[in-house]
Amino acid sequence: METPKLITLTESELNEYGCCGFKKPAKTEGFQKKRAWTAQQISQGLKFRVLQSPEHGTIGFIEFISGEFCWRAIDACEYMVIHCIMSYAKDLQHKGYGKMLIDSCYDDAVAAGMAGVAVVTSGDSFLADRDIFVKNGFITIEKAPPKFELMIKKIRKDALNPSFKGNWDSKAEKHSHGLSIYYSNQCPMVSKWVNEMIDYADTYKIPTSVFEINDHIAAQECPSPYGTFALIYNGKLLASRPVSGGSFAITMNKLLKK
């Protein structure tokens, strides 16, 4: 297999490549919303970089942006922040492609004179596991419930560490009645699932408020460290990262004893 190429997508190229689990551009509502979201964030400095193989097409990607404009609930102004990283096929994993993607982000941070690279990881789905970052020189500097870790790889050793925003419970407690859904179009899977959650709530007449996270400021103040999704029921954080409509229904059926 030929060595894959790293391609940083311009706004005009967003419909030519897959992303976020889609190896090819898709016509789904979620993919199109993700494409529009990415185009908007490119103007803020976001980099969406794909790993392109002549034989297999898009085999991975990394999405990152300066901490000032990041969509995670952290303070990381001097750092480059990785939102997402993914390699698609299991038979193409463990070949150093993840390292290629991470190194390309680190090199951009060096060129920009930043303090380092930061990333929020989790053992749950929708965020990369910590292991790939440990292998590439990152360390954990802070944890947040339920399973989030803030990891960094410093460029300037004397730089201050980034941190989680915190106050998760108090943010959730502001939504003391019914269901509150925070979401953004940063993930192409979410819009479909949010619609399914709303339909479920309508069926069981659950008071529901939906908050679309439209900018990085709102993302950084999200009730979940994830930044672009939170599900709250009667003042308690029910899900801190995206969940499918089916998983949501199972959880709610238990709570409502349906």
- Could you tell me where in the chain the CATH 3.40.30.10 domains are found? 168-256
Which token pair is 132?
């790939």
Q: What residues have CB less than 8 Å from 103, skipping those under 6 apart?
A: 136
- Report in angstroms the alpha-carbon separations of 145 from 169, 206, 237: 10, 26, 10
Selected from 3.20.20.140, 3.40.30.10, 3.40.50.261, 3.40.50.300, the CATH number assigned to the domain covering 168-256 reads 3.40.30.10
Chain region(s) in the chain for CATH 3.40.630.30: 5-164
Q: What is the DSSP letter of 146?
A: T
* CATH code of domain 5-164: 3.40.630.30
Task: Give me the tens of pLDDT residue by residue for the chain, a chain 258 residues long.
Answer: 568 899 999 877 877 775 665 555 566 787 788 888 998 999 899 999 998 888 877 888 999 999 999 999 999 999 999 999 987 766 666 678 899 999 999 999 999 999 999 999 997 777 888 999 999 999 999 999 999 999 999 999 999 999 999 999 999 999 999 999 999 999 888 888 999 999 999 999 999 999 999 999 999 999 999 999 999 999 999 999 888 888 888 988 888 876
pTM of the model: 0.93
